[in-house]
Structure formats: C-alpha cells, structure tokens
Amino acid sequence: MKFLVTGGAGFIGSAVIRFLIDETDHQVLNVDKLTYAGHLESLEPIADSDRYQFVQGDICDADLMQQVVDEFKPDRIMHLAAESHVDRSVDAPGEFIETNIIGTFNLLNAARKYREESGIEDFLFHHISTDEVFGSLGDDGFFTEDTRYDPRSPYSASKASSDHLVRAWGETYGLPIVVTNCSNNYGHYQFPEKLIPLMIMNTYNQKPLPVYGDGSNVRDWLHVDDHARALYLVVTEGKAGETYNIGGKNEKTNLEVVQTICDLMASFNPPTGDFNYRDLITHVTDRPGHDFRYAIDTTKIERELGWQPLETFESGIEKTVEWYLGNQAWCEAVSEAYSQERLGLKNAK
C-alpha cells in the first residue's frame, strides 16, 4: 500500500517511517514542514530506500495538501504533524491552533475530496493524538476510550479539537477514520526539549536538572518503537470509526524518571571524586495547570489487535540513555538553535 505520513521528520513520525520501510514493503511519502522539532537526520537510516519520498510542506497550506494527496494517491494517511510541547503552547498558543486544528481540517478536506473523486474503497485516515485530551487523573483509575474529554492546556485543547474534527468528518461525510490516543513517548531521536532527552543531555554536561514542583506528577511511559508497532496495527487491522488507547503500562513520577537517568549515567559515565549526578536535581516552579497523573487502559488494543508493549521502562530507558550517549553529534546538531530556556511561564498568571 501507499502511506502518506505527516510529521514524518518528527520524533514519533520518524519512528513510524523507519518501521514502515524496515519491516514492510509499503511505499511511504513523508510530508513535513521541518520546524525546529523536525529533522531529516532522524530518517538517514532509510533515506536511500526507493520506497521512500519526502515533500517539505506545511499542513496549513490547503492547496499544497490537496495536491500532495491527489498526486500520491495514498491508501492510508497517518497524521502525526503537530505542535506538541505543552510549555510552548502556554507562551504561543496561536501556533498550536493553526497547526493542530486548521492543519488537521485541511488534511481532512483533502482526504475527503480525494476519496470521493478517486472512488478508492480501501482507505483510512489515521489521526494520532494524545492522552492529554482527557485531562488529569487522581491517584487511581485509568483513561479508557470512553473517558470524557477535559483538556487543561492550549496544547491538549488543540489536540482535543482535532480529535473532534476527525470524528465529525467520519460521521458527517463518511470518511473512514480511526483515532489513537497515546501516553508519553520516549526513545531515540526525541528533540531535547522533552523531559527524558533534556535530562540525559544535562546530566551528561553536568548541568542542573530542573524538576517541576516536587516531582510527584505521574506519567505512563511508552517506548516510541512500541508505539510505532501499535500504530501500524491500528492503521492496517483496526476498525474504521474506532478509537484505540496506547500506553506503556509504565507509571513513574517525574522525579523517579530523573533519578533513574542519574543512576544510569553513573553506570555508563562514572563521575569522579565525590560528585553525584542526583545532586544536579533542582526543583523549579511548577508548570501552570500541570496535570497530576496520566495512565492508560490498553485493554482494547490488546484484546482486538493483539498488541503488547515489548519494552519495560527499565529496559527502554537504559537503551535510550545509551543511545543519546552514543549519538552526541545528533544531539548537538538538532540543538544548535535551542537555548533550553524555560518556557511556559511568561504568560502564566
């Protein structure tokens, strides 16, 4: 089949494309704007494949999206292009509204027109979203596919809006769609504004490790390769009109994550003298509206599609730390224009 992947130069998108090229015989067209978080270096392992193509483009350009869809004639659209960093959404929500809502609207229109005019029957629009649309959990319970939406940040509100648009195009226009909502991803090739790669790089450089609040906020961690496998199962075997939640079943507090990274760094890169990597941990002002806990019930995707995560947090985080230590050139290249300045506070009350 022919797969059109938006945001394929990003963290999760590049993992999906590497999977498609390495593990299947499908053709792939990657459409990416190449913002600060999109890097073709993440696709170098498969860039020479004759089944891979790249188009630099903005999903907010409706005419270009229609042209790309009409010319490539995809069987599957996997929509991953999005602004995704919560802190950035606090400072600059407009970019999130444009990309995550208007961009999704443009793609849906392009897909609908293409399907109606081409008469293609075996077609699916797969929208990849986040568990943050569900809001915040207390100490107990899990997000399911039926959990009420309760977004708390500009980022999660924009993703919730795009989820609703996708389902509306399915109901109103009969566009075959499927939606997935995932927990926090981690792994290789993740831009270092996110918690885990930032902590790894700061630990390596013996810089402060900023932890929001008391570090008790809980996330369910999903290795990006496990996520890529799940997404492929959904887009090839999932049922149109359905939603599937994808999680790693690895709940950890933010402080536990950072402490684990410190301990792994001590193993991989032993410090000298009395220095202890954990001494770099610095508690800073919490993020405005910081959701307390996310956790996903993966029963549906396990039962219906037979998916299970292969990585535990312990195995996945060890591989991730080792990868970043062995790929400092990639880290430095993608971080050239990234000052690591704290975001998400200047416009908060």
Give the chain's domains with CATH numbers: 2-191+221-249+293-311 (3.40.50.720)
pLDDT in tens, 307-335: 999 999 999 999 999 999 999 888 888 87
- Residues labelled catalytic: 131-132, 155
Residue 293 vs residues 134, 160, 177, 214, 251: alpha-carbon distances, Å = 11, 18, 29, 14, 9
Helices marked H in the chain: 11-23, 62-72, 86-91, 93-96, 103-118, 154-173, 195-204, 224-237, 254-268, 299-305, 313-326, 328-334
On the question of pLDDT at 339 being above 80, the answer is no
* pLDDT digit string, tens, across residues 154-210: 999 999 999 999 999 999 999 999 999 999 999 999 988 889 999 999 999 999 999
Who's near 180: CB < 8 A, 6+ residues apart?
A: 126, 127, 128, 129, 230, 231, 234, 243, 244, 245, 246
Pick the range with the lowest mean pLDDT from 152-156, 299-303, 333-337: 333-337
Q: Residue 13: pLDDT above 90?
A: yes
- What pLDDT is recorded for position 193? 80
pLDDT (average), residues 53-63:
98
Q: DSSP label at 144? A: -
pLDDT for 48 equals 98
Angle between helices 62-72 and 103-118 (to 10 degrees): 40
